[in-house]
Chain A
């Protein structure tokens, strides 16, 4: 049988670090990249006798995420202990939620080649992150840093509604943009604040029974998620085609070799012995509490997209790209405020800015300039102060070392020459230097004009006003 005879079934468990100031159960800061064990206290180091107290913002942010993904918010919720030994888990249990998560039964919509598709969320629960193990290659030891231990996480568990690598990526991007819009997580994937465990299985088309699934842990880039799923799907199909059986196992995706490898099995079948944490008390959320959070939710990507289609007549494709990231979308709106030229702003974002982001593998959150500066740049073009070709250089400068575009062009002396006399001089100079082109033009070869204009541009390093040049040449050649 061939690939086409198989259906792919994918589920994602997305972990997002919440953007709270302090950890989930103690008052230590959550900042990324502090020197080892400097953001710790007796509580997150699990010193004997210490007790957890839940950070109110963690509940608020999780409820926000739930409402933004159409979940039902549980009135009654609690924290449970998940017991296992690992050096990055100082209490030897993770405080998580087992049978009463804060949010349940939601969904988000993604765009696929066959149009919109609903991906259901089974649940969203709160839990604490673990510490980090650093490996001392020379001495062959491991070193435990607990700065990250106790950083708040939400785990968003999808139903197995995803049926391709592309859909998985679209779903992950959608979740990322939603969390960015409601500002509960900075979603910096390279820092691991957004990561996913990916469950993949395949089954023959029409089979009602799901195939055996494998799980790939801690994926933190869109590229690797897509590649890993494609690889794993092929691998599983090959196994089945060769008459083998897919093993249920946890895999590690290796970006370099582009392969998955089984993770070393824990010697015992895991038994986490979940039970309610007696150090914490019940969570009871009133309708009023939930409603207040609902009211506080900002505009979400879908509705922004609709607005752009309607108000600015953007194409579906452009609107989707711009609203896919809160930061792009904010840049777009701010720039329009300033220059009042939606069409131009749209073009700059989807063409040049997106190009640079791709080339430099930059996340929109990292764009160094703001909508105000982009807007001013566009005004300068509209006023004819600079040509489009200069503007592109200014944009690059904005990425390099952002400041007021006006300053940039003054500094660099990029202001467009629009002075009659100056233009005239150049034109005459070019004419005298290119008698042949002049002759050609007079002989009716209009192309020659373009060449002459080009020459003039060259001599002015692109600063001459192109319309005026055209004018002037035509007159001089009459």
Chain B
């Protein structure tokens, strides 16, 4: 079996048994990237030489016993909105085309402390705003299952790279579904942790009260391992939760007997593709076979949550993106007559249309006269959404929904219809609004062989529950063994 087809826990076994070496792994991945990047276009920056160098160095240190660590020499890919000292962090925006961060994000520090090797920075929708990665200033990433389709977004580069075996695992960020939806489109595993479980320090902010960093992996064990590495309290992030550390891999028992799963019927209504519904129905039957108690219930918040999401996310974004003014860093227009002109030209030329659209919407809902009707209302709806989920979790351990109403759609099919693109987030945003953990795993494929994603939502800080539910389903259905991306042209 090819090295690049292995999961991280499989790589660990082969390293332990000395079947392969650290340098073998990095070499294999660099080769794979060179083969596939033309088709997939997943990377903004590839760190070929740096990675090979690092691999040699780490291998030596491991052999001479200078360093230990179960992840030493394992490669990774990082979404390009996490700050990496000395390496470009572009957010796939012209605004930050040449930006080099003076510091490492907390998650990047944690990765480095494990001697994990960064293969490069992965493509995304500009400033994480979008659901198809078509809003990247640099390139359009393709879906490895069908190169004419989008990988989803905004972490499309991360999901596509994992699916195409160009990285063993990757970090993504999720504000309204940006880890889960591309994971679902690309047939991989994506976990959006509870708000506050992973530090946001060094994640270029889109919407501060919704953003979370999380793992995108080939299987659930890897997701649990990567979460072990990145989770934890950070005094540099006031919203970071101060809790005892958990080993999430210990939760993977493969047993869901007696697990209470709630299925909100509103998440299976109009707008949800029939093949998606069918695949999820089969998954539900499978869970019943495995001994879980599955029950339908009403959770009528999806539409409110979606509207609320776009109000809150854009309001926060309009403020968070104010700092990109062409003065301290980032794009500055070559010609300007005064300061105002410098600001406006730099921002208008440095930001793409979707970013500007959201800045305008966000500025509008915060501006005097509209604050109460939109922003303040949305904050109340946020309370409503949380209350409704709380009721749900009084009855159920896990809430099961589709990750996305459809499978991956054709490139260019939605870029001119923003609202349609927004509606595709209907299943995922409420999880961010309520700050809950959600995981997307493949439930099956549709008639064209495109992956379908199932979302499992847990109560706050109950990652263990949804990881085990996902793991148990994965072990029972063996999606990876039966389905592989074909790079259809």
Contact = CB atoms under 8 A, between A and B. Distances in A.
A49 B91 CA distance: 11
B336 interface: no
Interface string A15-50: 000000000000000000000000000100111111
A204 interface: no
Interface string B444-474: 0000000000000000000000000000000
Nearest to A37: B328
Contact of B101 (A49, A87, A92): A49
A interface SS class: loop
A83 interface: yes
Interface string B300-333: 0000000000000001101100111101110000
B interface SS class: loop
Given A45-B328, A51-B201, A85-B325, A275 B238 contact: no
A273 B239 contact: no
User: Chain A contact residues (Cβ within 8 angstroms of B): what range?
Assistant: 20 to 34
Indicate the member of B99, B204, B315, B366 with the most A CB atoms within 10 Å: B366
B375 interface: yes
Given A48-B99, A49-B105, A92 B322 contact: yes
Interface string A408-449: 000000000000000000000000000000000000000000
B200 A83 contact: no
A81 B319 contact: yes
Interface in A38-73: 42, 45-54
A239 B108 CA distance: 64
Contacts of A54: 238
Nearest to A46: B323
Contact of A92 (B201, B325, B340): B325
Given A51-B200, A279-B239, A42 B343 contact: no
Contacts of B208: 278-279
A49 B343 contact: no
Contacts of A81: 319
Given A92-B322, A93-B319, A279-B208, A271 B368 contact: yes
Contact of B316 (A50, A52, A90, A278): A278
A280 interface: yes
A410 to B, nearest CB: 58
Indicate the member of B96, B207, B209 with the most A CB atoms within 10 Å: B209
A278 B204 contact: no
B367 interface: yes
A242 interface: no
B152 interface: no
Contacts of B105: 49
A47 B202 CA distance: 9
B237 interface: yes
Interface of B: 82-83, 89, 91, 96, 99, 101-103, 105, 200-205, 207-209, 235-239, 315-316, 318-319, 322-325, 327-329, 339-340, 343, 363, 366-368, 371, 375
Interface of A: 42, 45-54, 81, 83, 85, 87, 90-93, 144, 267, 271, 273, 275, 278-281
7 contacts: A48-B204, A51-B201, A83-B322, A90-B323, A93-B322, A273-B368, A281-B238
Which 9 interchain pairs have the tightest Cβ spacing?
Answer: A92-B322, A278-B209, A273-B366, A278-B208, A48-B204, A49-B202, A46-B323, A49-B83, A49-B204
